[in-house]
């Protein structure tokens, strides 16, 4: 016979499960929007649209120019800045509208993400659907999102002064913070999904170490990719596997002191990006082989396979992007592919960390 206490516990358990599903759905939607934002940011960069909006209006910047007079006024303002004067002099109003559209969409999507996070966060918090232990983390994520908006304008400002291009350091910081937010959202979703799930068999230490090493390489590659984008280093050498007919470009260490080449020399940075790509591919194969030879659960095995497949696809996209001289379509896919590789690496690491040696004994495999 089921007691009232047991019935109450069952109801509370069902409510907790429903609340967790609601939070997972909400965070998944936000994560997809952040992914789209990162890809759109790459498109904005590749179409040279990022400096078309020369003001930052966080509250009142929802609407674009609404009539021809407003468009003319916006275009006249753009003409007073270095990008028009040094690169786009003589541009038509219609051409200006086209580049403006990408930057406008990028900024509006940022505001949409802010609302998509903040409003459900408050509602779910009031309804007590969010686990108490997770509320501070989610609040920090919102603050990081707000900081990302400020970082974006800080980046744009660097291209509105003398040189009509944004600082590659600020661009990399902008990309790095976006990637961190994307990764933190995914990790939070994985935490919620894993709650109350039977623990898997613990993974071998070498697999754990390999997962950390692979994730570190991927994170470094994303930052180097920011340098590549900021310095337009992808346009320097467009042959493969060589660079200007040699494996190591002739101007690899042309700057002094030598370490400046890894910060300022487009050729060195493209070479570094290529080498890291190869290193990630080798590490991905190594991780996959270790996972196949270890006694691990099915989800981790499948995650390792997906991770390797995404790495291979990303390498192919990178090569094609070079050979076709960085077209917008391939460049955007390459940036999106980088985020998918990051997501897969986070998943396998989370699966490894979720395995509890103390609880795994006697538990069925997932």
Please give the model's pTM, rounded to 2 decimal places.
0.90
Phi, psi (deg, nearest 5) at residue 228: -60, -45
Q: What is the dihedral of CA 132, 133, 134, 136, to 10 degrees?
A: 90
Distance of CA 186 to the CA centre of its chain: 11
In the chain, what are the domain boundaries? Answer: 1-196, 201-366
Give the helix/strand (H/E) hosting 132.
none
- 38 closest CA partner among 222, 275, 165, 169: 222
pLDDT per residue rounded down to tens, the chain (366 residues): 455 554 444 444 455 566 789 999 999 999 999 999 999 999 999 999 988 888 888 777 778 888 899 999 999 999 998 898 988 898 999 999 999 999 999 999 999 999 999 999 999 999 999 988 899 999 999 999 999 999 998 999 888 888 888 999 999 999 999 999 999 999 999 999 987 676 667 788 899 999 999 999 999 999 999 999 999 999 999 999 999 999 999 999 999 999 999 999 999 999 999 999 999 999 999 999 999 877 788 889 999 999 999 999 999 999 999 999 999 999 999 999 999 999 999 999 999 988 755 444 444 443
Q: How far apart are CA 321 and CA 337, in angstroms?
A: 12
């Amino acid at each position: 016979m089921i007691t009232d206490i047991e019935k109450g516990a069952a109801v509370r358990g069902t409510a907790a499960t429903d609340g967790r599903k609601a939070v997972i759905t909400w965070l998944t939607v936000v994560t997809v929007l952040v992914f789209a934002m990162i890809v759109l940011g790459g498109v904005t960069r590749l179409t040279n649209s990022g400096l078309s909006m020369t003001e930052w209006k966080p509250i009142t910047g929802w609407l674009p120019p609404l009539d021809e007079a407003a468009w003319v006024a916006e275009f006249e303002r753009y003409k007073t800045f270095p990008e028009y004067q040094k690169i786009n002099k003589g541009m038509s109003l219609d051409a200006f509208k086209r580049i403006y559209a990408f930057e406008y969409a990028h900024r509006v999507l940022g505001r949409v993400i802010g609302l998509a996070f903040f409003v459900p966060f408050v509602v779910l918090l009031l309804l007590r659907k969010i686990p108490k232990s997770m509320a501070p983390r989610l609040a920090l994520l919102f603050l990081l999102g707000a900081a990302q908006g400020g970082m974006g304008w800080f980046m744009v400002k660097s291209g509105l002064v003398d040189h009509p291009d944004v600082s590659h350091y600020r661009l990399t910081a902008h990309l790095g913070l976006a990637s961190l937010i994307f990764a933190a959202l995914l990790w939070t979703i994985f935490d919620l999904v894993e709650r109350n799930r039977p623990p898997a068999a613990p993974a071998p230490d070498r697999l754990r170490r390999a997962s950390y090493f692979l994730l570190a390489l991927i994170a470094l590659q994303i930052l180097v990719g920011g340098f590549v984008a900021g310095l337009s280093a992808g346009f320097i050498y467009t042959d493969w596997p060589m660079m200007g007919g040699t494996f190591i470009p002739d101007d690899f260490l042309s700057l002094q002191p030598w370490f400046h080449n890894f910060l300022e020399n487009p050729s060195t940075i493209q070479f570094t990006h290529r080498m890291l790509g190869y290193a990630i591919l080798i590490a991905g194969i190594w991780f996959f082989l270790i996972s196949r030879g270890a006694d691990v659960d099915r989800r981790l095995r499948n995650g390792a396979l997906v991770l390797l497949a995404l790495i291979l696809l990303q390498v192919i996209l990178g090569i094609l992007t070079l050979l076709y001289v960085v077209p917008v379509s391939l460049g955007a896919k390459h940036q999106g592919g980088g985020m998918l590789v990051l997501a897969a690496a986070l998943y396998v690491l989370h699966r490894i960390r979720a395995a509890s040696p103390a609880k795994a004994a006697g538990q069925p495999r997932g």
